[in-house]
Amino acid sequence: MPSVTEDIKWGNDLCFMIGGKMFCVTTMDTPLKVSIKVTDEEFGEMIDLPGVIPAPYVARYKWILVEDVNAFTEKKWEYYITQSYNLVKTKLSKKELEGI
């Protein structure tokens, strides 16, 4: 994805960012866990899925934590990660967008 950067935060989390804002966070330990932003409409449905919970600290911003990566197919992962990227990118200011 264009202009994506990576950083390790909190000691052991790999963060993927656009314009300095996170859109996907993964653990570097096993089992792999992934946090992404979803739409307001999807949030309630997603946290009812097995292996998916509200993301600690950021659930109020409609982030989910996928504790079982097999909860989604590869195609669904591509969709939700791309959607998270786009949701975060659309919230960037003009100044932040110029910097990427």
Query: 43 and 61 in contact (C-beta within 8 Å)?
Result: no
Distance in angstroms (rounded) separating the CA atoms of residues 99 and 72: 33
* DSSP state letter for 65: E
Please state which CATH number belongs to domain 4-98: 3.90.1150.30
Domain boundaries, the chain: 4-98
Residue 81, pLDDT above cutoff 80: yes
Q: What is the pTM of this model?
A: 0.91
Rg (CA), the chain: 13
Residue 79, pLDDT above cutoff 80: yes
Cα distances (angstroms) measured from residue 98 to each of 18, 76, 88? 12, 30, 15
pLDDT digits (tens, 9 = 90+) for 6-58: 999 988 999 999 999 999 999 999 999 999 999 999 999 999 999 999 999 99
Residue 97, pLDDT above cutoff 90: no
Note the pLDDT of residue 11: 86
- Kindly report each contact of residues 67-75 with a partner whose C-beta sits within 8 Å and lies 24 or more positions away, as own/partner: 67/31, 67/33, 68/31, 69/31, 69/32, 69/33, 69/34
Q: Where residue 95 falls among pLDDT bands split at 50, 70, 90?
A: confident
Does residue 11 sit in helix, strand or coil? coil
Note the pLDDT of residue 2: 86
